[in-house]
Amino acid sequence: MKKTIVLKTEHLTIYPLSDSEMENLIVVESDTDMKQAYSEMLDGCKQNPEHRIWYAIWNIQLNDETGKSVGDLSFKGLDSNGLVEIGYGIKKEYEGQGYMTEAVTAMARWASEQIGVNYVEAETDPDNKASQRVLEKTGFRLNGIMGVEGPRYVFKKA
C-alpha cells in the first residue's frame, strides 16, 4: 500500500483526501462551481493514479483538540514542463488568522522539492486582495503574465 503524504505545520495538518472522501465532499458541496471543480479533481485522480497527488484535494485541518477542517488546497496537475499550479480556499470563519498563509507556505515548499517539479504557480482574481497577500507572504512573485482568472504568480524558493 502506498504511503499517504501528511504535512505538519505549527497549527495545521495537511493531507490528500482519498477518492471516497473526495466523493463525499462533492455530495455535500452546495456551491455549483466548487462542486464542478472538485469533480474535475476527482476525475484527474482516477485518470492519473500515478500522479494522484497533483490532482487530489488536500484537506487543511487544525492541530488542536477539535481537528476541524479549515479549508483545502489542490494542484491542477503536473504538466510536461514541470509546472504545478496551486489553488486554495478557506472557510469564512477561519479567514484572517494566518492559516492559509501557513498552509500555502508548506505546500509550495513541499511541491517545489518534488522530482519533476520545476515551477509552482498560482493565479488569483485581480480583486482578491487577501489571496494576493497570501501569495506575496509565502514567497510567490508576479511573473508578468495575465491568466484566465487574473495575474499569475510564481513561487521563489528561499
Domain at 24, CATH number: 3.40.630.30
Strand partners, 154: 121, 141
pLDDT of residue 63: 95
Q: Which domain holds residue 101?
A: 7-118
Per the confidence metrics, is the pTM higher than 0.85? yes
Residue 151 lies in a domain: no
Which pLDDT score, from 0 to 100, does residue 2 have? 56
Query: Considering the domain boundaries, does residue 135 fall inside one?
Result: no
Report the C-alpha gap between 85 and 111 in whole angstroms: 10
- CB-CB contact of 130 with 108 (8 Å): no
Number of domains in the chain: 1
In a domain, 157, yes or no: no
Express each pLDDT in 103-156 by its tens digit: 999 999 999 999 999 999 999 999 999 999 999 999 999 998 888 888 999 997
Residue 132 counted as domain residue: no
